[in-house]
Structure 1
Amino acid sequence: MTASPKARTKRLHAAGLRAALPFLAPSFAGMLVFSLVPLIISGVISLTDWNGLDELLAPGMFAEHFVGLDNFRAILTSSEFLQVLGNTCRYIVLYIPCMLAASLAVACLLSQSRRGVTAFRVVYYIPVLTSWVAASLIWKSVLSPQYGALNNFLALFGIQGPGWLLDEAWAMPAIVLVSVWKDMGFFGLILLSGMIGIDRGYYEAASLDGAGPWARFWRITLPLMTPAIFYVLIVSLINAFQLFPQIMIMTDGGPNGATQVMVERIYKYGFRYYRMGYAAAFSWILFAIIMVCTFIQMKGQKRWVNYDT
């Protein structure tokens, strides 16, 4: 008796899965060992007051250190959490618009065939290749209020530069400046790929209708680049919530806690104060915040992202 098309399809799928399993197994094993298992262990640790020094797999360890949801309750009801979340949100509000504007400017410049563009294509990507440690150390010197190159440059025009990293009001904008300088090359390349993919016929038609460069940018380029912009917003928001190396090297959370952010708190509670359970709970709260923000972005894309090219 001849099998139905549905049954044949199922058999083909099963045979394809069996053939693919040997090739997928190394990736699944890596994901299990380096992602899923640490995720589960982190969730368990967040329910304890483990200090990170006692043997993790010792008999009775979990029962001895179990505190339930006390870590989450302590974090969410503390004034420190509100301050840290506020600092992180302040960074995001400053960083994302500046980064997006700088990346769009880079993409527009790279998309044009003018003299010097080839050299700029090489130079603009150098910050992306530079390690955060090296970049942060250089910028920490540049932003020195007394001997830094930036304040010395401003002094040439009679402008007294601020204290930058030593000033509570200017420390976070200084971190934003460095982050935009470092990231705009990477995100500019992504936006450039979206810009190049636009059908040139739209620009030719608009030119025939008398549209100028600005009109073509606002009416054609920007709407058709919204998928690339949406991707940049998703990635940059996740990266912004995970702000860490530039904070640790340039300000260490100071001055007066003005640059204390989520990941900086997680690191210090875990590896300086030896409150590993508290740090794990902090990381799960950060995970939940990122998930909620990403979900809102995914739902909101239908209102402004245009996938018709």
Structure 2
Amino acid sequence: MTTSPTASGGGTKIKQRFWTARSRRDAWIFLAFALPNIALIVMFTYRPLIANIQYSFLDWTLGSDFATAVGLNNYVTFFTSSDAPEVLGTTAIFTVLTVGGAMVLGLLIALALNQKLPGRTFARSAIFAPYVLSGVGVGLVWLFIFDPVYGALSWVLRGLGQSSPQWINDPKLALTMVIIVYIWKNLGYCAVVYLAGLQSMPQDVMEAASLDGAGVVRRFFAIVFPLLSPTTFFLLITSLLSSLQAFDILKIMTPTGQGTNTLMFETYLQAFGAYNRAGYSAAISVVLFLLLLIMTAVQMRFVERKVHYA
């Protein structure tokens, strides 16, 4: 920092140099902390992403030493195949129902847990517990429950004189089965996030509405739900991305697909299943990446307009 006399005399004008010793020191400290993280992100996120895009332009069998460049042929093959409508449709159904189901049920549970009820602390822990459990463990437990021969559900139905549905063998029932399990696993996350939003609401607004004669239902739709819009927007993005990338429960409960072939699961089956089509699998994963990118951008551009932050 340097000083120089002003033209009028009696005072000094302070001139600040942009690149001072302190600025250089702060820059080095920033680089020391940021560069390792940036290097890890580049190495384990962007480098595999770029490599996967390159593989999507190849006709390559997994494990082979040779690959043939085919341009956009893998993408054309996928979108013109008879499996594409089924895979895209299954992905849409699974995503919409799991995201919508978890958010709606999570909000209802949060409203209940926000009341002063005995044992609510234990209930909150019990509701959130499935979210932190391993997807493999959850899938194995629920697979035992849904097993049409030895499962707990079939035992209950036989006791009532009913036969158990073929949850595993029927493609439509298999999709219903994994949707139920995925909602059960993730609704605790939505409930806890919604509960945090409910507890941060201004109580004076709620009390004023109550004094004005607004009932419970009216207060919810006129005040509570609009004030929860930032929470809903956050959950919509995170839950949507999570559902589109769901894999572990699908793999454990339906190892060969059987009507549960989402884009993520189809990527795995094509590369590591009976086909070993690594290039084709890479093309499907790029389609999934672009879908995630577009849906996130659309939400940030249009859905956020409905969010009330104040």
- The TM-score bracket by the shorter chain reads 0.7 to 0.9
Whole-Å Cα distance in 1 between the matches of residues 51 and 15 of structure 2?
42
Whole-Å Cα distance in 2 between the matches of residues 76 and 33 of structure 1?
31
Deviation string 1:37-63 (CA, Å, 9 cap, x unpaired) is 1112111111111223135xxxxx6xx
Give the structure 2 partner of residue 259 of structure 1.
260
How far 1:216 moved relative to its partner? 1.8
| 1:196 to 1:42, Cα distance in 2 relative to 1, 3 A | same
Tell me the TM-score normalised to structure 2 length: 0.88
The question of whether the paired residues in 2 share the 8 Å contact of 1:142 and 1:150 is answered with yes
Write out aligned runs for 1:121-270 (5 A).
121-154=124-157, 161-255=164-258, 258-270=259-271
| 1:13 to 1:160, Cα distance in 2 relative to 1, 3 A | farther
The question of whether the paired residues in 1 share the 8 Å contact of 2:3 and 2:15 is answered with no
Whole-Å Cα distance in 1 between the matches of residues 288 and 196 of structure 2?
31
Write out aligned runs for 1:1-309 (5 A).
8-9=17-18, 16-55=26-65, 65-154=68-157, 161-255=164-258, 258-272=259-273, 273-308=275-310
How far 1:144 moved relative to its partner? 1.9
The question of whether the paired residues in 1 share the 8 Å contact of 2:3 and 2:14 is answered with no
Give the structure 1 partner of residue 7 of structure 2.
none
The question of whether the paired residues in 1 share the 8 Å contact of 2:55 and 2:279 is answered with yes
How far 1:262 moved relative to its partner? 0.8
Deviation string 1:116-153 (CA, Å, 9 cap, x unpaired) is 21221221122112211111111111112233223443
One-letter identity of the residue aligned with 2:197: G
Deviation string 1:56-89 (CA, Å, 9 cap, x unpaired) is xxxxx6xx52111111111121121111011111
Q: Which moved more, 1:1-10 or 1:124-133?
A: 1-10
The question of whether the paired residues in 2 share the 8 Å contact of 1:253 and 1:264 is answered with no
Over aligned residue pairs, what C-alpha RMSD do you find?
A: 2.4
The question of whether the paired residues in 1 share the 8 Å contact of 2:229 and 2:308 is answered with yes
Whole-Å Cα distance in 2 between the matches of residues 6 and 54 of structure 1?
66
How far 1:2 moved relative to its partner? 6.7
Identity across the alignment (%): 33
Unaligned runs of 5+ in 1: 56-60
- Equivalenced residues, count: 299
Whole-Å Cα distance in 2 between the matches of residues 135 and 207 of structure 1?
43
Tell me the TM-score normalised to structure 1 length: 0.88
Whole-Å Cα distance in 1 between the matches of residues 204 and 120 of structure 2?
24
The question of whether the paired residues in 2 share the 8 Å contact of 1:133 and 1:246 is answered with yes
Whole-Å Cα distance in 2 between the matches of residues 191 and 131 of structure 1?
23
Whole-Å Cα distance in 1 between the matches of residues 107 and 23 of structure 2?
44
How far 1:177 moved relative to its partner? 0.7
The question of whether the paired residues in 2 share the 8 Å contact of 1:247 and 1:253 is answered with no
